Structure 1
Amino acid sequence: MKKLWFICLLSLISVAKAQKTTVSFSLPETEKWQLSRAPHALHYHPAIPELSDTVFFEKRGNNLWEATFEGEKMPQTWYLNGEKVMFYFFVQADEKISIRVGEDGVVSFESGKWQAQNQYFHKQNDILQATLSDLYPKEPKDFVKNLYQLQAKRLENYHTTFPKPDSLFDDFMQIYFQVETNQSLGAYPFFHNRSTGKVEMVREMPDAYLDTFPLVKPSKYDFYPYSVIISELRSSYTRDCKQHTLKNKPITVLDSDKKYNYFLCNYQNLNQITSEKLRKLCLQNFLASSLRMWEWQDERFVALAQLTLEELKKLGITEKEATFFKVKFANYQSLSAGKPFPDFSFLDKDEKRVTLESLKGKVVLVDFWATWCAPCVAEFPHSKKLMQTFENQEVVFLNICIDSNQADWEKMLTAHQLGGVQVFVSPEESLLLRKNYQISGIPHYFLLDKNGIILKNKTIRPSQNAAELIEKALE
């Protein structure tokens, strides 16, 4: 059964006194729409995607599901996660929201204070995705021109549809159009290649193209319902760090000094944000998104982490947030260069047992990936080239597929003729692996020496620096 994906943004706005909001959604009663387990909704932290609150839906009738949400002062975004329905929803406190999914998969918002806004946003997102597929084959200059023309038309349509919009919804939409443009520009290099029959992801674009990314402007109301907005705002504030330090190069190819200077520049820029709330969210997002790329064996990075956390404490982060970062610091240090790689035991595609001990005496490149991950797939041609380069040498390529469907994995192995040691782990096992190996984004690579000691964590890619690092490890 093909999963149904929706992106329908809504927010939970409450007054000083906590109030209850009821959300229900109905699915067709046909067999293909029956759910084997109760869906749940996640409230993601506006700056730290890994932090979330969960509410489970209960069945109220024939494929009718309902949940109650507690309102707070802060606006919230919830994400309904079910085996056949997945979408963001955005509601106001003390109301009843009703959503219906038709047999054809069409979503209808049937009640709610922002019923019209939600229906409009859902349809507009579908229109954007369909139009982008036609734009991606174009060359960079034409793509940028057509994208901005498209967004101008969509903004005009929005103002026509809502001549006097709710001020908070309008503030959100103005920011979202900017974020949406940035995301489309960022996705273009990969999807352009895919649309022209290539698998590789272009990682370097001319400065003239990068300059077309709009600088996202802060909310008038300090309203940041989900982390993508904070992430794009953070990028706007730190753009000069990329231009002056990265110079359009991937972080993974930088030496420790340049990498430290880049992240220090990020901290300094973000710490100058006037709004304390926005400064706090951007600094949190900075840590949450970048810690995995730091050189934790280098005391400068450890000191920068502590400095940022102390600043966040002054800005009033919660004990839960502070503990989250402290645990992250300790975990990343335990997985830094020079530390032993945690032991493992897997069955490969041929039902042979693979353990860390069984690979001792060989350099190992570990790749955590997923079948649905476009950047993972983009690395395949480079991985295959690496395997050819180091064929008959003491190098093992261990590829661990997580968060995926086993049938899709098997098809991909055949379609791409993937070599190396191929391992599939169940979704349940994937959660444990993500925790044990601190995997927050994929692909995620580790390079191990012949004794199972970590040489590189995250900052290595087959398409960039893996060949050089493997060669050095073999010396």
Structure 2
Amino acid sequence: MPLFVFILCSSIFCYAHAEQTRLTQLSTEQHSELTINKEAPDSTTLVFDKKHKRSDFFYYQDYYDEVSAPFDLNGKSTTFRFLFDKDVTLFIVRDDGTSSCTIHPGETIHIASSREYGIEKKGDRTRSNELNFISSLNRSIGTELEGFYAYKPSINQKTTQIISSATELYQKRIAYLEKYMKINTLSTAFERAIRNKLYSVYYNDVTSLYARGAKPLDQPIENFIERERSKPIDTSQVDDSALNHTQYLALKRNKAKPTLSTMFEIASKEFSGKTRDRALYSIVRLAFKDKTDSLLRLTERFQSIATDDYLKRYAQENFALTTLSEATKDYSQSELVSPDGRILTWSDFISSKKDTVVYVDFWASWCAPCIAEMPNSYKLRETFKGKKISFVYISIDDINTSWKNSLSSVGLIPYKTNNYRMRLGSKSKLKESLTISMIPRYMVIGMDGKIEINNATRPSDPATARILTILLKE
């Protein structure tokens, strides 16, 4: 699985959730408040100017359909460096709207504080035109193409209204593309990709409510899908078109909510190549999110059919790990997994920390408040350096790769021996038994292995140091 590492070159501490980056560990310099990666060869660099407002933020969606946590810009000029192996879709959210664009590995992109001044790859006018197209399109049409504020049909609309509104919007977007290309140079590859994106958004706008069972199939929607079916659905990137079409075919066959197994079989026959890989991956991912009984079988089938090595590795590492069950286990036998794949039970963990005070930090790679508190945890850890106290970080991430990749970005790589993930993530018996309903969550375990404080104060709270000092003296 490729690794993501980011560099934050400013006075704020940020977090990046990333599934699509190389297994590359950059040299790091540890500071009390943040981690700075010194070297980032071939990195993708995002440079935000100083005029961004405190409310501005950005996030991205990666090749594996995962969405990152938001990066708050805090009104500062900030440089972020990433190592991406695959394209990502970047979303910049400002008061004047959302800008989105596809970022390629290794690019350096400059982002202005206003959509009007845009996104630039210095020295490459064609690429800058491509980066600004969707933002320019959104401003011209008045409706955003993708992201939080994208157009969505209403469940109360009639099918004919949904089709008519979506068709009109699609035609306006195509017309604007033609106009934009007369003024601005675009690469052939980008033109092909953006035409496909515009069509996919159109198809999804019309079909999504029906494909997912929110509205019943009727003759107008069946006529639309059968008419559009002759057009190729190219979804080699993240896109719901093939999944929506598969759900439609399954609904039409079964006249009821289809099983994921049925959808998998339909997609494996209906599509080919990269489109089939993407559709099948989407179905396996749904099985993972729903924790269905068919997850293991579908993951194995995907491994045997798919040709996309990135998707296969990701599915194997992240989805196959959750196919076991803790339903009949006592929570003391709930399993933790270390970054190197070593597995131990909660009971084993407690035994390994005998005669030591343990301060446990329950967190997740997608949890911005958790990441914001990390520098305070590092300060607290330094305060008790050399004492019989252990600082342990346990993630509730469902996605194993998300957790492993985030260890470097949050500064936990040097502390691998005290890093674990609940093997079943949010479905772990341990999380349920310890009533961890919100994170960050902290716990203090005494030298006798018993929980002293189940819901302890945060590292930033002065009371935490006082409590730990008292326990060390007992």
Normalised by the length of structure 2, the TM-score is: 0.48
Normalised by the length of structure 1, the TM-score is: 0.48
